[in-house]
Amino acid sequence: MAKGMREIKRQIKSVQNTKQITKAMEMVAASRLRRAQASAEAARPYADKLKEVVGSIAAGTKGVKHPMLQTREVKKTGYLVVTSDRGLAGGYNANVLRRVMQEIKENHKSPSEYAIFVIGRKGRDYFRNRNIAIVEDVTGIPDSPSFADIKAIAVSAVKRFEDGSYDKLYLVYNRFVNAITQEPTLKQLLPMADMGGTAVSNYEYEPSAEGVLEVLLPKYAETLIYSAVLEGKASEFGARMTAMNNATKNATKMISSLTLVYNRARQASITQEISEIVAGANAQS
């Protein structure tokens, strides 16, 4: 009985240590979430305004021919997948990877019909373990990423579309809704066949509207990729905070349950000892 009680006590101590870790991770994720959420929300108006400007130029320029605006026969599709470098974030990575794999299975018959770009170690390892070729990947993205951290892969993904390496490019990421909800999102990035803009007559372009579009269109696509990374970071911290909160609650329940078992075992041990003492006293009388 004493051996069993010692084992229960060790289990309680182990769960208490785990609870301290999960609680600390929850607090860290909560503090980082505030900064990441602010960055993600600040990027949205910039991307929207840039879309408005690019759309107005495209709408007001007749006959403009730019590969990023032209729809062509789809022979190959590119996917830029945004994941995290670390786990312990609930279903954050699993949801977005499941979304891209579902898209691949439904729309492609062979690996030659798609190309994968990955941001994040979890995504990279996932595709490697399944022998899915990765065109380019980036890992080690900081908690507060700058555009420089993902510039290389963003520029490469956009450039390869312009060069005709594939005919469509999708962004796959978790869109941040709130700390509890993150939506796996598949968004067409290229081509920008319908920018939804209206011509604005009081703009003057130097040297020409086509020249401005030549510069702005790649910048706009790269901005959307960076915005998706910021959304992904906010989603990651929200998912991790929620997962660690649930883990802490589960640890609390487990400690209560183990403590109850320990107390019952202790009471049984005390009762047994008293019974043995009484039995010994009766034997001597």
Residue 197 reports pLDDT greater than 60: no
Rounded mean pLDDT of the chain? 89
Residue 48 reports pLDDT greater than 60: yes
* pLDDT of res. 62: 63
Examine residue 145 and say whether the peptide bond preceding it is cis (omega within 30 degrees of 0). Answer: no
CA dist 234 and 213 (Å) reads 31
By three-state DSSP, how is residue 263 classified? helix
Residue 209 reports pLDDT greater than 70: yes
Average pLDDT over residues 128-142: 96
Distances (CA, A) of 185 to 55, 119, 190, 232, 249: 23, 15, 15, 10, 30
* pLDDT of res. 216: 86
* pLDDT of res. 211: 81
Nearest Cα neighbor of 186 from 106, 75, 85 is 106
Instruction: Give exposure, 46-74, as e/b (b: 16+ Cβ within 10 Å).
Output: ebeebbebbbbbbebbeebebebbeeeee
Residue 100 reports pLDDT greater than 90: yes
pLDDT confidence bin for 270, thresholds 50/70/90: confident
CA dist 58 and 35 (Å) reads 35
CA dist 118 and 123 (Å) reads 6
% of the chain beyond a pLDDT of 70:
92
In the chain, what are the domains?
2-25+243-284 (1.10.287.80), 42-242 (3.40.1380.10)
CA dist 77 and 103 (Å) reads 11
% of the chain beyond a pLDDT of 90:
67
Residue type at 172?
V
Among left, alpha and beta (phi > 0; psi -120 to 50; other), residue 63 is: left
* pLDDT of res. 145: 95
* pLDDT of res. 194: 59
pLDDT confidence bin for 266, thresholds 50/70/90: confident
Average pLDDT over residues 131-147: 95
* pLDDT of res. 53: 80
CA dist 5 and 151 (Å) reads 58
* pLDDT of res. 63: 61
Residue count (the chain): 285
Q: What is the pLDDT of residues 164-182, one digit of tens each?
A: 999 999 999 999 999 899 9
Residue 114 tokens, joined = 């798609």
Q: What is the pLDDT of residues 51-92, one digit of tens each?
A: 888 877 777 666 667 788 888 899 999 999 999 999 999 999
* pLDDT of res. 202: 60
* pLDDT of res. 271: 81
Nearest Cα neighbor of 236 from 102, 143, 116 is 143
pLDDT confidence bin for 267, thresholds 50/70/90: confident
- DSSP-assigned beta bridge partners for residue 188: 170
